[in-house]
Amino acid sequence: MSQPENRREYYRINDEIALLLRLLDEEAEHASTAFPEDAELFSQLEALQELELQTQPLLRQLAEGDAALANCLRLLDRRSALLTQTLLQQVDTDFGNRQQVSLCEAGLSMIYPQELLAGRRLALKILLLPQSHALLLCARIIYCQASEGGYSVGLEFENLSEAQRQVLARHILQRQAEQRRQAREAKV
C-alpha cells in the first residue's frame, strides 16, 4: 500500500514509548525469536497480565459481598503491579530509544530513521510509559514513506493475545484521560 489509509476502528493517541525493533523471519510465529534474551521475562510478564485480567471480574464480584476483602485484594494487586513496575524500570535501558508514536490497539505509526520494506514483519519490544507495561509483539510494516526527519512508518500488530490487547487498550484510555485533563488545566 503506497498511501497510509485512514483506518479509525480504534482510538489513537500520540504518545512516547520506549521501543526496540528487529526484523522477523516470515516463518517466525513469536517475537521472542528475535529477542531470545528476553523470552523468559516477557513470558512471565504476559502471565502476570493474564492473571490481572482474570482477577478484575472476581474483585468486582467480591466487592458486592465483602467490601473489606475486596479492598484488601485490590491493595495486594496494586502491590504486585508496583513490584512489576519497579522490575521493569530496572531494565528500562534494554527497551531501546524513546520514540514519539501514534498508537492504537491495532498498531502504531512513527518516524523512523531508516527505510523499512512494506510487507516485512518486525518484532517489537515496547515499554509503555509511565506505567512501565512491557510488551513483546509481532507487527507487519503496512507502509514506509520518505518524510521530513526520516521515514513515516505504519505498523499493524499481529496475533495479539487478549492480555496484550487489554494492556494496550487500558494504556490508551489512561493516556487519553490524562491528555484531556492536561488540556482542561491548560485552558484554566
Of the two residues 72 and 10, the one the predictor is more confident about is 72
Share of the chain above pLDDT 70, in %: 89
pLDDT, position 112: 94
Nearest CA to 46 out of 160, 169, 173 is that of 160
Is residue 154 within 8 A of residue 142, CB to CB? The reply is yes
pLDDT, position 92: 55
pLDDT, position 145: 96
Is residue 5 exposed (0-12), middle (13-18) or buried (19+ Cβ within 10 Å)? exposed
Task: State pLDDT tens for residues 42-52.
Answer: 777 777 777 77
pLDDT, position 91: 61
Task: State pLDDT tens for residues 133-162.
Answer: 889 999 999 999 999 989 999 999 999 988
Cell 507487519 belongs to residue:
140
Q: Mean pLDDT for the chain?
A: 84
* Class level of CATH domain 13-187: mainly beta
Nearest CA to 124 out of 10, 2, 38, 14 is that of 38
Asked if pLDDT for residue 124 goes beyond 80, the answer is: yes
Quick one: average pLDDT of 106-123?
95
Asked if pLDDT for residue 58 goes beyond 90, the answer is: no
pLDDT, position 90: 59
Quick one: average pLDDT of 93-119?
90
pLDDT, position 1: 42
Sign of the alpha-carbon dihedral angle for 136, 106, 168, 103: positive
C-alpha angle 112-115-120 in degrees, rounded to nearest 5:
100
Distance CA 32, CA 8 (A): 29
pLDDT, position 102: 96
Asked if pLDDT for residue 89 goes beyond 70, the answer is: no
Quick one: average pLDDT of 70-80?
79
